[in-house]
Amino acid sequence: MHSIWQTLAMFFNIAVFKNRPQDLSASIQVLYVAVGLALLLSVLRFSMVPAESISILRVLLEVLVPGVVLYFLLYYFKHTNRFAQTFAAICGSGSIIYALALPFLPAFYAAAAARAPDLSVYAIILLDLWSIAVVAFILRHALEVGLATSVTLAIALGLTSYIVVDTAAPLKAVQPVDQPLSFQSLPFPATSVASVSTNSRLVRL
């Protein structure tokens, strides 16, 4: 059994593509640590969302739904024995990325609500892309599939999870602030920022 610090170091190494999911211990304790971290970071992240209310149901679904989808993927590819390691790798590495995203979230949501350009928007988008890349890396090794297939499945996992979670426990976001903007100063369409505020998510893992 790895110590907690060794386990966290392993999650970080997976997030930077240094270790594979099968390098993790298959013990239930490691899975508990990973899921616990994912729940904690989900609570912290949602505490920064400018919304009327955040339900415990949504926080739980953010972690559980990807796990269910992952299990079906592993079942389809006949690798269900790898579930504990794969889900722990996804939750643990995702928590590392979530932790790095936290400092950007207040400015990100403020920029999204005001429809104003901000570096935090680009930071969150980059972290989203990193998250997808890490999930694809994990799925590639866990399912023993090619790069293109793993990227497709990573995106499908994220989209499916988002649709199910948002349908079961929708988050009512604050309305954008109505203020004049110089649209020519925006390096991207003005509507894309507001769209990011409600639709862009790090992959729920």
- Show pLDDT as tens, one digit a residue, over the chain (205 residues): 458 888 999 999 999 999 999 999 888 999 999 999 999 998 888 777 765 556 788 889 999 999 999 999 999 999 999 999 999 999 999 999 999 999 998 888 788 777 777 888 899 999 999 999 999 999 999 999 999 999 999 999 999 999 999 898 886 654 444 443 333 333 333 323 333 333 334 433 3
205: in domain: no
Please tell me the predicted confidence (pLDDT) of residue 173. Answer: 52
Tell me how far apart the alpha carbons of residues 105 and 11 are, in angstroms, rounded to a whole number: 22
* Gap between the Cα atoms of 90 and 67, Å rounded: 9
Domain that holds residue 43: 4-199
Asked if residue 32 belongs to a domain, the reply is yes
Distance CA 157, CA 154 (A): 5
Is there a domain that residue 42 lies in?
yes
Any domain includes 68: yes
Q: Which residue has the tokens 């932790």?
A: 99
| pLDDT at position 16 | 96
* 47 occurs within a structural domain: yes
In a domain, 204, yes or no: no
Instruction: Please state the pTM of the whole predicted model.
Output: 0.79
Number of domains in the chain: 1
Quote the CA–CA distance of 14 and 72 in Å, as a whole number: 22
Looking at the chain, the number of H-run helices and the number of E-run strands are 8, 0
**Residue 155 located in a structural domain:** yes
Contact between residue 86 and residue 21 where contact means Cβ atoms under 8 Å apart:
yes
Nearest to residue 85, comparing CAs of 146, 192, 179, 11?
11
Residue 99 located in a structural domain: yes
